[in-house]
Structure 1
Amino acid sequence: MAGLLGLGRSADFESAEAEAPDALLWIGDPDAQPDPARLLDPMRSASWYGHANRLSQEQIQWPEIALIHRVTR
Protein backbone atom coordinates (compact mmCIF):
# COMPACT_ATOMS: atom_id res chain seq x y z
CA MET A 1 0.00 0.00 0.00
CA ALA A 2 2.91 2.35 0.70
CA GLY A 3 4.05 1.91 -2.91
CA LEU A 4 0.59 2.67 -4.24
CA LEU A 5 0.46 5.92 -2.27
CA GLY A 6 4.05 6.97 -3.01
CA LEU A 7 5.14 6.49 0.60
CA GLY A 8 7.68 3.74 -0.02
CA ARG A 9 10.44 6.26 -0.73
CA SER A 10 12.59 6.05 2.41
CA ALA A 11 15.14 8.60 1.12
CA ASP A 12 12.39 11.24 0.95
CA PHE A 13 11.40 10.62 4.56
CA GLU A 14 14.84 10.58 6.25
CA SER A 15 14.34 13.58 8.52
CA ALA A 16 10.58 13.16 8.95
CA GLU A 17 8.47 10.60 10.72
CA ALA A 18 7.75 7.57 8.59
CA GLU A 19 4.28 7.27 7.14
CA ALA A 20 2.59 3.90 7.52
CA PRO A 21 -0.64 3.51 5.55
CA ASP A 22 -2.84 0.92 7.21
CA ALA A 23 -6.02 1.05 5.17
CA LEU A 24 -7.29 1.98 1.75
CA LEU A 25 -10.93 2.97 1.41
CA TRP A 26 -12.99 3.05 -1.77
CA ILE A 27 -15.95 5.44 -1.70
CA GLY A 28 -18.06 5.06 -4.79
CA ASP A 29 -19.90 2.63 -7.02
CA PRO A 30 -18.92 -0.91 -5.96
CA ASP A 31 -18.97 -2.00 -9.61
CA ALA A 32 -16.38 0.65 -10.49
CA GLN A 33 -13.98 -0.25 -7.67
CA PRO A 34 -10.44 -0.57 -9.08
CA ASP A 35 -8.24 -3.56 -8.34
CA PRO A 36 -5.39 -2.20 -6.17
CA ALA A 37 -3.00 -4.84 -7.54
CA ARG A 38 -3.54 -3.51 -11.09
CA LEU A 39 -2.81 0.02 -9.91
CA LEU A 40 0.64 -0.92 -8.60
CA ASP A 41 2.40 -1.40 -11.95
CA PRO A 42 1.85 2.17 -13.21
CA MET A 43 2.72 3.55 -9.77
CA ARG A 44 6.05 1.71 -9.70
CA SER A 45 7.22 3.64 -12.74
CA ALA A 46 5.69 6.97 -11.64
CA SER A 47 7.90 9.93 -10.86
CA TRP A 48 7.29 11.27 -7.38
CA TYR A 49 8.24 14.84 -6.51
CA GLY A 50 8.88 16.55 -3.22
CA HIS A 51 9.77 15.15 0.15
CA ALA A 52 8.30 14.87 3.60
CA ASN A 53 8.99 17.51 6.20
CA ARG A 54 8.83 17.56 9.98
CA LEU A 55 5.86 19.27 11.54
CA SER A 56 7.66 19.85 14.83
CA GLN A 57 10.99 19.14 16.52
CA GLU A 58 9.42 16.67 18.95
CA GLN A 59 7.98 13.39 17.85
CA ILE A 60 4.45 13.02 19.18
CA GLN A 61 3.48 9.57 20.38
CA TRP A 62 0.08 8.34 19.21
CA PRO A 63 -0.47 5.02 21.03
CA GLU A 64 -3.85 4.38 19.41
CA ILE A 65 -2.45 4.86 15.92
CA ALA A 66 0.56 2.66 16.77
CA LEU A 67 -1.83 -0.06 17.95
CA ILE A 68 -3.86 0.12 14.73
CA HIS A 69 -0.65 -0.08 12.70
CA ARG A 70 0.49 -3.20 14.58
CA VAL A 71 -2.82 -5.08 14.34
CA THR A 72 -3.37 -4.33 10.64
CA ARG A 73 -0.01 -5.61 9.44
Structure 2
Amino acid sequence: MGAHTAPLELHVEATAFLASLRSRGLSPKTERAAGCLALYLHHSVERCLEWRRERFLPLSGFQQWAVTELLS
Protein backbone atom coordinates (compact mmCIF):
# COMPACT_ATOMS: atom_id res chain seq x y z
CA MET A 1 0.00 0.00 0.00
CA GLY A 2 0.99 3.66 -0.16
CA ALA A 3 2.16 5.91 2.65
CA HIS A 4 -0.46 4.72 5.12
CA THR A 5 1.28 4.42 8.49
CA ALA A 6 -1.23 3.19 11.07
CA PRO A 7 -2.68 -0.31 10.82
CA LEU A 8 -6.39 -0.57 10.18
CA GLU A 9 -8.08 -1.10 13.52
CA LEU A 10 -11.60 -2.06 14.47
CA HIS A 11 -13.82 0.93 15.18
CA VAL A 12 -16.14 0.27 18.12
CA GLU A 13 -19.27 1.87 16.65
CA ALA A 14 -18.72 0.37 13.20
CA THR A 15 -18.12 -3.08 14.67
CA ALA A 16 -21.33 -2.88 16.70
CA PHE A 17 -23.24 -1.73 13.64
CA LEU A 18 -21.89 -4.58 11.52
CA ALA A 19 -22.80 -7.08 14.25
CA SER A 20 -26.36 -5.73 14.34
CA LEU A 21 -26.64 -6.11 10.55
CA ARG A 22 -25.35 -9.67 10.70
CA SER A 23 -27.72 -10.60 13.55
CA ARG A 24 -30.71 -9.33 11.57
CA GLY A 25 -29.79 -11.48 8.57
CA LEU A 26 -29.51 -8.58 6.15
CA SER A 27 -27.95 -8.86 2.70
CA PRO A 28 -24.17 -9.37 2.53
CA LYS A 29 -24.15 -6.33 0.21
CA THR A 30 -25.46 -4.24 3.08
CA GLU A 31 -22.70 -5.58 5.29
CA ARG A 32 -20.06 -4.74 2.65
CA ALA A 33 -21.39 -1.18 2.43
CA ALA A 34 -21.13 -0.93 6.19
CA GLY A 35 -17.52 -2.12 5.87
CA CYS A 36 -16.88 0.98 3.76
CA LEU A 37 -18.32 3.00 6.62
CA ALA A 38 -15.85 1.33 8.96
CA LEU A 39 -12.98 2.41 6.69
CA TYR A 40 -14.32 5.96 6.71
CA LEU A 41 -14.46 5.96 10.51
CA HIS A 42 -10.90 4.62 10.72
CA HIS A 43 -9.74 7.35 8.33
CA SER A 44 -11.50 10.03 10.40
CA VAL A 45 -10.17 8.85 13.75
CA GLU A 46 -6.63 8.55 12.39
CA ARG A 47 -6.77 12.19 11.27
CA CYS A 48 -8.56 13.49 14.39
CA LEU A 49 -11.63 14.44 12.33
CA GLU A 50 -15.00 14.62 14.04
CA TRP A 51 -16.75 11.93 12.00
CA ARG A 52 -20.18 12.87 13.37
CA ARG A 53 -19.99 16.32 11.74
CA GLU A 54 -18.13 15.80 8.49
CA ARG A 55 -18.56 18.10 5.57
CA PHE A 56 -17.72 17.80 1.88
CA LEU A 57 -13.95 18.43 2.02
CA PRO A 58 -13.18 15.73 4.60
CA LEU A 59 -15.34 13.31 2.63
CA SER A 60 -13.41 14.23 -0.49
CA GLY A 61 -10.20 13.62 1.45
CA PHE A 62 -11.47 10.18 2.43
CA GLN A 63 -12.23 9.36 -1.19
CA GLN A 64 -8.74 10.40 -2.26
CA TRP A 65 -7.19 8.39 0.62
CA ALA A 66 -9.19 5.29 -0.29
CA VAL A 67 -8.16 5.46 -3.93
CA THR A 68 -4.47 6.16 -3.29
CA GLU A 69 -3.97 3.94 -0.23
CA LEU A 70 -6.30 1.02 -0.75
CA LEU A 71 -6.15 0.64 -4.49
CA SER A 72 -2.43 1.19 -4.97
**Structure 2-normalised TM-score?**
0.26
Structure possessing the higher radius of gyration over alpha carbons? 1
Structure with more of its chain in helix, by fraction: 2
**Structure 1-normalised TM-score?**
0.25
